[in-house]
Amino acid sequence: MTQIQEVTLDEIRHLVSERALTGETMLLNMGPQHPSTHGVLRLLLELDGETIVNCIPDIGYLHTGIEKNMEAKTYQKAEVMTDRMDYMNTVGNNFTYCLAIEKLVGLDVPPRAQAIRVILAELTRIQSHLVWLGTAALDVAAMSVFLYCFREREMILDIMELVSGQRMMTTYIRPGGVWRDVPVEFETAVREFLKIIPYRIDEYESMLSKNPLFLDRTVGIGKISAEEAINWGLTGATLRASGPDYDVRKFAPYSGYEQYDFDIPTRTEGDVYARYILHIEEMRQSIRIIQQALDKLPLGPVRSNNYKFVPPPRSEIGTSMEALIHHFKLWTEGFNAPKGSVYVATESPRGELGCFLEGDGGPKPYRVHFRAPSFDNLQVLPKLAKGHFVADLVAIIGSIDIVLGDIDR
């Protein structure tokens, strides 16, 4: 087993200011085991009293080697790894990866599968925002919001379990469609959820939005201007809180997002409070999308019938020899994707989630790379934290909504 490395001050000389070397400012280690770093993020803080002079993130404590591991698996089997990347947006990761495969091999997805994908992706967005809201509020010492948020999250997880049999790591979206059609109870379950959730979101807002203690901790903290946010490459609510209305669902619609009527909420303040308001608003917009998608959920197949890439229905295996051959080939050696590289982007709850996929003509991807929104958003943390108190740093880390699994992969 490797040992914890002892680092001398000389080795981090280039990271800290001159004053740290004379002992005028204090160096403090925060994490990787810290309740408010949202995972295993480690921060090296240089403090002047309680004020942060420098904040140096150290990532990699959750580096799992997912991208490399995916190269050793066939296209279908590699999908299982994508769930475990950004574990708050499991359906969204599958979605992005499947869109990339579909673009690489040229698969068409039936309209019903597209609508189901949108519904599940938006439910996942709400679920992710609920966890964000609960934990971010917990960071600024609002205990009870956490309990309320997790109550509604269970309803979403029940729906996920209904369609896929798993609560979190569903792997329900497959290349060319979805695993199977949704069960009959699906629509009632989602409608039941849609009936309740708007009132519950109002309830969360009533606990936080005008709470003077919450306002004191969030307004004017961790500010960033629109121009800087764009230059840092931020996406998602962290960018939109500063003004730009960039959302992949509007700018480059995929999977039929263009047919739904929804807004991209923006704020101009660019502080922690603005990011909180945006997360709340985005949940409301997601509800609108789910409502529309559910109202015009088309009937029809849920998987492409291109059996070179998509396994045929099990009922056909007993009667058709071709189906049996396709089934056997797909589950033993997989399908051969053509040579070439594609990039597909979707809007994850944290920002633009991109998937770069390169095929070399064989059944396994030559290279898979994910543009993780949390990774790009985390870069800005040292800039946001500078000059604030340590207690504010906790609120800032919460507000940029990072998931360490997404950063380290």
Which chain residues interact with other proteins by CB under 8 A? Answer: 1-4, 32-35, 39-40, 60-66, 68-69, 80-81, 84, 87-88, 131, 134-135, 146-148, 150-151, 153-154, 157, 167-169, 404-405, 408
Q: Which is nearer to other proteins, 167 or 329 (CB)?
A: 167
Token digits of residue 145: 């919001």
The Cα–Cα gap between 199 and 304 comes to 38
Q: Whose Cβ is closer to other proteins: residue 13's or residue 68's?
A: 68
Per the structure block, which two tokens stand in for 318?
A: 């007993």
The structure tokens 């010492």 sit at 141
Is the Cβ of residue 279 or residue 327 nearer to other proteins in the bound state? Answer: 279
State the nearest-atom distance from the C-beta of 245 to other proteins, in Å: 30
Give which of 174, 178, 181, 180 is closest to 98, Cα–Cα: 174
Residue 268 CA to residue 243 CA, distance in Å, equals: 5
Closest CA to 197 of 283, 282, 279, 275: 283
Burial label, 2 (beta-carbon count in 10 A; 0-12, 13-18, 19+): exposed
If the CB atoms of residues 107 and 138 are measured against other proteins, the closer one turns out to be 138
What is the closest distance, in whole angstroms, from the C-beta atom of residue 254 to other proteins in the complex? 25
Contact 345, 339 (CB under 8 A): no
Cβ at position 124, least distance to other proteins in Å: 13
Nearer to other proteins by Cβ, of 32 and 256: the residue is: 32
- Considering the complex, what minimum distance in angstroms separates the CB of residue 291 from other proteins? 25
Nearer to other proteins, 62 or 189 (CB): 62
CA distance 356 to 71: 13
The residue among 232 and 366 lying less far from other proteins, judged by its C-beta, is 366
Contacts 24+ apart (CB under 8 A), 9-13: 12/44, 12/56
Least distance in angstroms from the C-beta of 348 to other proteins: 16
Q: How far apart are CA 37 and CA 53, in angstroms?
A: 19
Which residue in 163, 100, 161, 93 sits closest to 128, CA to CA?
A: 93
Q: How far is the CB of 222 from other proteins (least distance, A)?
A: 23
Residue 274 CB, shortest distance to other proteins, in Å, is 26
For the chain, the first-to-last Cα distance in angstroms comes to 21
Determine which helix (DSSP H) or strand (DSSP E) holds 42, and give its type and residue range.
Answer: strand 42-48
